[in-house]
Structure 1
Amino acid sequence: MRGSSFMRPAANFEGSAIGMSLFHFLDERTPLKGRLALSVEYDGTSYCGWQRLKHAPSVQGALEKALGKIAGTDITVHCSGRTDSGVHATRQIAHFDPPVARSEKAWVFGGNANLPRDIAIRWIREVPDDFHSRFKALARRYRYVILNQPSRPVLERANATWCRDPLDADAMHQAAQVLVGEHDFSSFRAAGCQSKTPWRHLHFIEVHRHGPLVVVDLQANAFLHHMVRNIVGALVTVGRGEQGTDHIARLLALKDRTLGDVTAPGCGLHFVDTVYDEVWQLPKEPLGPNLLAFLGEWTGERPLPDCPMVAYRRGQPIAADVEEQMRRRLGRC
């Protein structure tokens, strides 16, 4: 039937590791109490981004409206990281303090029934009152998908960026490695970026080709406004052969966005993971978007770097001078 889903009992998936991870019985009897965390997936094509605005549709606005209908009153939702206009997400973690108690099934099914088709709640969980989707996050991860072929995309047109010129993914990967570590990313931040500091710690960045798809996969403690799209724009210049593999290093050293490269379109960018300490016991999910499911990598597989920010967010003791330096350089991201 067109527009419908094939509903089968989750029991059919017993014995499958993927099935056990993807399929979960939604409790409809036990009211959830206290702070709630949820995972949201959305196609950002029709939205100005995550953040609620008065003059344009936003993901936050749509989600708050849907949850408000379940609660019967206004609800404010906080996210792990704001996304730009046109950018997608497969694992945006958010939290809110519900004014009323509703069951897990009521929040998920009721919320999705009141959401547009391009936004969906994947799961919802009780969390301690000191959990915060933004300030307890250890890392954020993005994947940028480029469809590299002569003809324009059709099925992938809304979730991949088209590049008709052949790209050298190996050269792009080599050029990108200079970005790994803690740096001043001024050359890759938007002019209107509101962050108090340009310093970020990039955990890894990889560029791989899978047939016609070129995927830029990167993770950091946090990202500046347009940071990923500006990095990808510069990497495409390298991939086309217009600049050498030292192009990214030169831009990084300049610390000046006005001397930087182009900004890649938002449609190819996917926010695929927010990493938290295991103490919060949030569900693990396969990394998105689903068109990259063949890569088989699941959330939380990669070790985080041994750095002050990770230790601080995990509540581990760090030297007072190191903590002060971390606050000055990284800010409250």
Structure 2
Amino acid sequence: MRFAEHWSQASVIATRDLAPTIREITLKPDVPAGSWAPGSHISVAVLIDGQPERRSYSLIPCADGLLRIAVRIADDSRGGSRAMWALQPGNKLDISNPTSLFEIDWSRKHYCLIAGGIGVTPMLGIAAALARKNVDLSMHYAVKSHEDAALHDELAALLGEQLRLYPSAAGGRLDLLATFAALPENAIAVVCGPLRMLEAAKQAWADAGRPASDLCFETFGSSGRLPTREFRVRIGTTGQEILIPRDRSMLDVLNAAGFEVISDCQRGECGVCAIDVACVDGEIDHRDVFFSTEQKHHNGKICPCVSRANGTVTIDTLYRADQLPSAAA
């Protein structure tokens, strides 16, 4: 793995609603988390229908050694957001140490931050870190409506006129191509939001003639093009079919069935868990940001940590640990 993961317990000390669908949860770790990089996240262990699951949430700057996260309740939730919204002060839960998947070059002079919806959560810490430096900084925040703009007041106090809000319900539209084209040479863009925004940002960045290495991003891999529903996975070597419920990931179900699928980020970003696809009877909903648009079009592989399907996906190169030849064989 790219980072060492350590788990400890934390207590919920407060909750409050930042927006109609976004709840802030403040945690006090039993073991102090120490300093962490801007844009870091923690993983949280949750029980969903009696099954252990994990979810990742970005950290919002917080004082006194506390950890602050925000959780969006989703209509197509696989159960994680409902479990988190049910937490009350005094509840205990297991959390991982803070880690960051952003790879930001902090030595540049020009930065553009792009946030969509709940993707604003890591941006407050990144914006605060950049605001302390002598850099040119702007932030563009796309939301459904003004009331959905979580953390807007804190961002406005920090950035002032450098912050622009785009509420789609009021006709606000963020033109990514124009925004990127207007940036000075050697600028860095940092993007966090739903998959569609990230795909649009990657395309606009390329169309603006910008180097791919200067676009930093993080995704919330639960979002996709298709509704979240159950689907089937067929093991190509045996014909065995496994049902993937709408509230569990393909990765979790395969591992629970005895097929050991290695993984790392479990957010659709690293590609470690990618599995070969033999054929598709239906349609794959690629929710990762690891594969290119062309690779997704060819359906040669799938990232089971976040991607889903409608219909049946036949996969190869899986094995069961109990079916491996013994050392004496």
TM-score w.r.t. the length of structure 2 is: 0.29
Higher strand share: 2
Structure scoring higher RCO (CA < 8 A, sep ≥ 6) equals: 1
TM-score w.r.t. the length of structure 1 is: 0.28
Higher helix share: 1
